[in-house]
Chain A
Amino acid sequence: MHRRDFLNAVGAGILLPVGRGAWAVSAPAAGPTNKKLIVVMLRGAVDGLNVVAPVGDENYLRLRPTIGLAAPGMEGGALDLDGYFGLHPALASLQPLWAARKLAFVHASGSPDATRSHFDAQDYMESATPGRKNTPDGWMNRLVAALPGPQSPSRLLGIGPVLPRILAGHAAAVNLPNVASAARADLLDQPRVKAAFDELYANHPRFGRAYADGRAAHREVMDALESKEMQAADRGAPLPNGFPDDAARLAGLMRNDPKIQLAFVALGGWDTHANQGAASGQLANRLAPLGQGLAVLAERLGPLFDDTVVVVMSEFGRTARENGNGGTDHGHGNVMWVMGGKVRGGKVYGDWEGVGDAKLNEGRDLPVLTDFRSVLAQISEQHLMLGDKGLEQVFPAMPQNLAGFRIVGA
């Protein structure tokens, strides 16, 4: 209800064409934070072999007789990507981005650590130190600290009610449960109440920083959302609740608050051990709003999309064979999604050996042939202009073998 109220409120601006041309004049001047990164984490291990399915591999449907996607052109078939891989049909909203070469995938990628525990694997993906449990901070926090430019609380932003591991650390980071609620004045905007709690929390050794960061981010977001540009940017039909809605608001917020540079969103519900379905069903129902949200994000970022890279990743993949219950169990390698104006898209990157029995890791799942950190490091280096020293801080002890491909342009 609140979301809708907000949409109505911001929808009152004048009608403007939405598209690259419309926004050329308002593109922000080059600054230290104008290159953006958005990370979307799919918690629960999405079944990458049904996201970017090797429909051209003769083994694929043998391994997945009931959940496998049919070949492109068939009823409920995958959407052809490159004649060998096919995209899940529930992700049709991403097809224009693929066609425009703004979307790429890295298959058989992931963490080199062999764990099939969701929780350890997510932890490693967020700390970017696979196999090491005592890393105190998340890599996005180290990244924001290592990038040039002034630190501000909203430079590193999470959407969700809690602050995830990936954002934790010494640098300031804030979370918004959802962008809509952040736009409302709150109790602490009342001067007397504010003064009282400001004093209680001022320089408090344990909670002072979280309190101050929260207030600073709140002011920034309020300011950004009051601007006229935001009102025009969010013009459009109301979106379904959930990710598409949050994505639209995040895009608007990033366009209006140039201080926001790195953003993180986590989505759950991918642990499909039973009845995951094929072209339709549980997995399809989760993928559809994700694809729609990513498309909305790209559209509403407008000119900023050219300066943004969006990465979608998940802690590990799932078994190549479907299990006895029309689902899949915990696996290893997965597919990463990379989207953005300067992404060298329209291509599935990464070494690929097929899904023949002899090529499967431990006889059950995809091997990890591309370390997820090598993709993230390349984006940090080529897109965010992170220097060598910073690279070592953000991705410590990373194996020397960097990705053998270039997925993002300068």
Chain B
Amino acid sequence: MTVNLEPDMTHRASLALLAAFLMATCAASAADSASAPDVQALHVLNRLAYGPRPGDVERVANMGVQRWIDQQLHPETIPLPPDLDARLASLDTVNRSAGASLAEFLELRREVRMEDEGAKQRRREAQMRVARQAAEARLLRAVESPRKLEEVMVDFWYNHFNVFAGKGIDRALVTSYERDAIRPYALGSFRALLGATAKHPAMLFYLDNVVSSAPRTDAKRKARGLNENYARELMELHTLGADGGYTQRDVTELARMLTGWTFDEKRLARTGETFRFDAGRHDRGAKTWLGREIAPSGQQEGETALDVLAVHPATAHHVSRELAQYFVSDEPPPGLVDRMAATWQASQGDIRAVLATLFASREFMDAGSVGAKFKTPYQYVVSAVRASGVPVANVGPLVNTMSQLGMPLYGCQTPDGYKNTQDAWLNPDALTRRIAFASALAGGRLPLGVVPVEARPAEMTPYLAGSDVMPLPPPPPLAAPKPVPLDAARLQATLAGSVSPRTLGIVQRNPDNLRAAMLLGSPDFMQR
């Protein structure tokens, strides 16, 4: 789906009429039900996507909300637009293997240690480039991909299985982590997703399982022993939940079962091997975990643990509740969570089936659910850019805004990931900053169209311009373009029924050059 920057007048007029109609009727109807097709369309666009782009509400309403949801549940049936595909393909660090990325990281680290002239500068540039491209790929997709639900789920699962990009070699690995361990399973089997995250070097490194091993008494060898970090978070955050009924003993036993699940930095960089089971590190003793006797069976012990955890009733409930909290309300209806958990159990953890239960529920479509969620900084920024219809060549201003709002992309340090509740994100400072961002976007003052300097090939060092680096597209001229303010009427039509009559009334009483900022900075646009 590409941005239509010049919508035909008929289209605009019909949306304006629709908006006028909604202004007149919305106060009554929104309170009763979310039954009107366009209100439903807006609702699902706010939840299964990051809000509407110009023309989206009409497209979804025409297609039929149910059909659109079904299509979103099968992203493989939705082709990516060629121009988005081409831009993603041009991001070389996003497309290279974990091994190649780590090889570059280790080489630059070695050069810095040798105090090679300029190595620090090269490393800084390389790391900035990796971070910028990762952000660009993520945000381009979030703003432009027609596989909207897939993008929402990638973000959801990334937070669920969070890895902090700022920890050591994870700088070089999170791109592969999202691409190889999260995205392919975002709507698939939870067991497969769990296994992929468990075995990815980014997670093995982040939660220290890479160094966990059976206790050694051999004094000659480097100190080794059990590390509980991953085993604990695997049960507490990824599967059972903190109230899932396990004990400290279960944490220790699971850590023992997972000893030997590791990877070797040098082998990863040289051969691309992302995971290995090291029998020499494995604790070969018998274990008792969650009331089961675990017979010694090497790597299979960890696989068995993931099998058990993936379909455990506590997991079904814990993760269903998280999904319902994301898609319905901060305190999701327990009845809905129970039905989702039942689907989880019946389908052996089929994410698509659980989501289908959620989206088909009356709780999800209930009028009381419309606008019930407060947008996270990520959702706020992406939805504002989507509503604006502005093409994005430079994601820098978006990345900076998310950081200022306390939600740096790939920057959550703790393994619980970012929350999506109002309590977590609504605060006095946040509203002021969101309004400032809305005003800059509405006034055309964000340099979204200017490719940042460090992305220009001329700035690349000889090392980075090596054979494994694809050429970047030629940069556009550097001259700062004249700010082009958003068209407030068009923005109003795009947002249509999600703006209350009260807000619309106040907006209309203000000068035209404030209206777009007011719409994007309004209370109505803070919620989804």
Contacts and interface: CB of A to CB of B under 8 A. Distances in A.
Interface of A: 43-44, 66, 115-120, 153, 160-163, 165, 168, 174-177, 186-188, 192-193, 196-197, 199-201, 204, 206-207, 210-211, 213-215, 217-218, 268-269, 271, 273-274, 323-327, 329-330, 362
B212 interface: yes
B242 A115 contact: yes
Contact of A210 (B428, B436, B511, B517): B428
A292 to B, nearest CB: 21
Contact of B416 (A119, A200, A215): A119
A42 to B, nearest CB: 13
A187 B439 contact: yes
B369 interface: no
Contact of B229 (A162, A273, A326): A273
B432 A269 contact: no
B435 A329 contact: no
A-B interface, 5 closest residue pairs, ranked by CB to CB distance from nearest = A324-B225, A214-B428, A161-B406, A163-B427, A273-B229
B225 A201 contact: no
A120 B233 CA distance: 12
B190 interface: no
B518 A214 contact: no
Interface stretch (B79-87, B151-159, B418-426): B418-426
Given A323-B227, A329-B229, 10 more contacts: A116-B251, A118-B414, A119-B416, A174-B428, A188-B432, A188-B435, A192-B511, A200-B522, A273-B208, A325-B227
B429 A161 contact: yes
Contact of B242 (A119, A175, A187, A269): A119
Nearest to B371: A206
Nearest to B214: A324
A162 B427 contact: yes
A213 B211 contact: no
A329 B426 contact: no
B213 A324 contact: yes
Nearest to A206: B523
Contacts of A115: 242
B248 A116 contact: yes
B470 interface: no
B215 interface: yes
Contacts of A177: 404, 406, 429
Nearest to B215: A324
Contacts of B526: 207
Contacts of B425: 162
Interface string B204-237: 0001100111011000000111111100100010
B431 interface: yes
A300 to B, nearest CB: 23
B212 A324 contact: yes
Contacts of A200: 503, 506, 518, 521-523
Interface in B174-209: 207-208
B227 A120 contact: no
A162 B428 contact: no
A362 B506 contact: no
A218 B432 contact: yes
**Which of B207, B215, B406, B428 is packed against the most chain A CB atoms within 10 Å?**
B428
Contact of B436 (A187, A213, A217): A187
B523 A162 contact: no
B17 to A, nearest CB: 25
A200 B499 CA distance: 12
B77 interface: no
A130 to B, nearest CB: 14
A300 B509 CA distance: 49
7 contacts: A161-B430, A177-B404, A200-B506, A214-B431, A324-B226, A325-B227, A330-B228
Contacts of B426: 163, 207, 210
Given A175-B428, A207-B523, A211-B428, A324 B248 contact: no
Contacts of A214: 427-429, 431-432
**Which of B435, B503, B506 is packed against the most chain A CB atoms within 10 Å?**
B435
Interface string B432-469: 10011001000000000000000000000000000000
B271 interface: no
Contact of A197 (B215, B405, B424, B435): B435
A160 B224 CA distance: 38
B523 A66 contact: no
Contacts of B503: 200
B435 A187 contact: yes
Contacts of A274: 208, 211, 227
B357 interface: no
Contacts of A201: 431, 523
A268 B414 CA distance: 9
A324 B223 contact: yes
A184 B431 CA distance: 16
Contact of A162 (B215, B406, B517): B406
Contacts of B207: 273
A269 B518 contact: no
Contact of B427 (A44, A66, A210, A329): A210
Nearest to A165: B423
A269 B224 CA distance: 23
B423 A168 contact: yes
Contacts of A207: 426, 431, 523, 526
Nearest to B429: A175
B514 interface: yes
B10 interface: no
Given A175-B429, A187-B435, A330-B232, A197 B414 contact: no
A168 B330 CA distance: 16
Given A120-B242, A174-B429, A211-B431, A323 B424 contact: no
Contact of A193 (B223, B232, B427, B514): B514
Contacts of B211: 274, 324-325
Given A200-B506, A207-B526, A210-B427, A161 B242 contact: no
Contact of B439 (A193, A211, A217, A323): A193
B413 interface: yes
Nearest to A43: B414
A402 to B, nearest CB: 29
B430 A162 contact: yes
B399 to A, nearest CB: 14
Contacts of B226: 323-324
B381 to A, nearest CB: 14
Nearest to A120: B242
B512 to A, nearest CB: 12
A206 B414 CA distance: 29
B527 interface: yes
Contacts of A213: 428
B7 to A, nearest CB: 26
A335 B518 CA distance: 49
**Which of A66, A204, A269, A326 is packed against the most chain B CB atoms within 10 Å?**
A204
Interface in B112-167: none
**Which of A118, A119, A162 is packed against the most chain B CB atoms within 10 Å?**
A162
A187 B405 CA distance: 16
Contacts of B228: 273, 323, 329-330
Contacts of B216: 324
A197 B517 CA distance: 10
A204 B406 CA distance: 24
A73 to B, nearest CB: 26
A118 B414 CA distance: 9
Nearest to A133: B243
A362 B236 contact: no
Contacts of A204: 523
Contacts of A362: 248
A120 B517 CA distance: 39
Contacts of B429: 161, 174-177, 214
Contacts of B215: 324
Nearest to B249: A362
Nearest to A195: B510
Contacts of B514: 192-193, 196
A197 to B, nearest CB: 6
